Structures are given as structure tokens and as C-alpha cells.
Structure 1
Amino acid sequence: MKIIRKIPVKQVITERSKERLVKQFNQNKQQLEQECQQLQFEQRKLQNKKGVSKHEVAKRFQQEIKKRKDKIKWIEFQLEQLDILPIGSEITEEEVETLVEVEEGSNWSDISDNKAIIVKDGIVIQIT
């Protein structure tokens, strides 16, 4: 029988990967800021229409804007943490799913052990 198991992909921090992550975080932050501005514009546009509850429109748009502002705060926190991280440390970047063969008599601890894929500058350097 085969089962699906999640395995973390860890990235070794190098100068190059740090720069890439900072750029990626800043792009995501900029995108979220643009979405907030667009939502505010749409909110003003909708509130000027007749037959629309200004309170409901404001409430709904403020919820969406708040979600994005919370994500911006999270990105800012991640940028601060990235700045603190020393070169050579590992961060979990994502998780991938893998198929694992399980048979009667299989050692469960071997199957459920913490396995990981270690990546350095986009190249897999170790599978544990």
C-alpha cells in the first residue's frame, strides 16, 4: 500500500538566497499594498451608488483591507527575522507530498521519521 506523506523543504540561507527572499517578500508586500489601494478606490465608487448600504459596503471592504494589512505585517515580521538569520541557517520554505510504500512488517518509525529535503541556492544538497 502507498500512503502520501508531507516532507518539509528546508533552504540553507546564503547571501544569494537571502537577497532572493527579501526581493520576493518586498514584491508580495507591494502587491498587497496595491490591492489595499484598489479596494479603497472600489469602496468609494460603490458607496456613491444609490440603493447600496454604505455601512455594509464599508464593513465588507474594511474586512478585506484588514486581511491584506495583516499579511503586510506578517511579511514585515518575516523580513525582520530574515535580517537576523545568520548565513548557513536553515528555514522551512514549504512542504511537499511524497508517496511512501507501506507493507505488512514495515517498520513504522522508519516511515514516520522526520525526513526533509535540504536546498542550497536552488540545488538539492541532501535528502534525509
Structure 2
Amino acid sequence: MKVVQKVIVKQVLTEQSKEKLRNKFILEQKGLQNEIEQLRFQLKKIENMKKPSAASLEKQFEKEQKTRLEKLRIIDFQLEQLNLLPIGSELEETKLDAIVEVKEGDSWEEFKSLQTILVKDGIVIEIR
């Protein structure tokens, strides 16, 4: 019988992968900062309209700004944590579904335990 099982994919931190993660976070930061600037620009345009619906739009824009500012704070924290992590650390990257064959006589405890795939610089180095 075939069943679906969760598999964790972990990345071993190397200088190269650390730099890739750092660059990814920095790109996300820049994108969010651009979005915030665009929202501020749009908000100024709305403030100049002086229409009755402008107040509700202002609240919506402010809410969107707060959401992006919170995402920026999270990315800042992730960058700080990345700088603290030693090379060789294992970072959970994603979870996948795998189709696994289960037969009579197989160990159920072994099957229940989550499988882990370890990746280093884009290459699978271990399956646990």
C-alpha cells in the first residue's frame, strides 16, 4: 500500500548558503521598503483628495504600511540570527509530501517517524 508521508528538508549552513540567505533577506527588505514608499506616496495623494471615502482609504493604507513594517522587523531579526549561526548548522527549509510503500511486517514506529533530507549547497548529502 502506498501512503503519503511528511518529509523535512534541512539545509546545512555553509559560507555560500549563508551568503545566499543574507542576499535573499536583503532583497526582501528592499522590496518591502519600496512598497512602503509607494504606499506613503499613495497616501499623500489620498490626503489631497479631501473626499468622504478618503478617511477609510487612509486607514487601509496605514494598515498596509504597518504590515510591511512588521515584515521588515522580522527580516531584520532573521538577519541578526543568521549572523549568529555557526557554519554547519541545520536549518529547516521546507516540508514535502512523499509517497512511501508500506507492507505487512514493516515497522510502524519507523514509518511514523518523520523522514529528513539533508541538503548542502544544493546537493542531497543524507536521507535520515
TM-score interval for Structure 1 and Structure 2 normalised by the shorter chain: 0.7 to 0.9
SS in 1 for 2:49: coil
* 1:16 matches 2:16: yes
SS in 1 for 2:87: coil
TM-aligned CA deviation for residue 105 of structure 1:
5.5
Deviates more, 1:13-22 or 1:90-99: 90-99
In structure 2, do the counterparts of structure 1 residues 49 and 121 end up closer, same or farther at CA, with 3 Å as the change threshold? same
In structure 1, list runs of 5 or more residues that go unmatched: none
Question: What corresponds to 2:124 in structure 1?
Answer: 124
Question: What corresponds to 1:92 in structure 2?
Answer: 92
Aligned-partner Cα distance in 1 for 2:124–2:18: 17
Q: Letter of the 1:49 partner, please give it.
A: M
* 1:64 matches 2:64: yes
Q: Between the two proteins, what is the percent identity of the paired residues?
A: 45
Asked if structure 1 preserves the Cα contact closer than 8 Å seen for 2:5 and 2:114, the reply is no
Q: How many residues align?
A: 128
Aligned-partner Cα distance in 1 for 2:102–2:79: 41
TM-aligned CA deviation for residue 98 of structure 1:
1.4
Question: What corresponds to 1:29 in structure 2?
Answer: 29
Aligned-partner Cα distance in 2 for 1:70–1:50: 29
Question: What corresponds to 1:79 in structure 2?
Answer: 79
TM-aligned CA deviation for residue 61 of structure 1:
0.9
In structure 2, do the counterparts of structure 1 residues 127 and 47 end up closer, same or farther at CA, with 3 Å as the change threshold? same
In structure 2, do the counterparts of structure 1 residues 48 and 123 end up closer, same or farther at CA, with 3 Å as the change threshold? same
Aligned-partner Cα distance in 2 for 1:58–1:103: 61
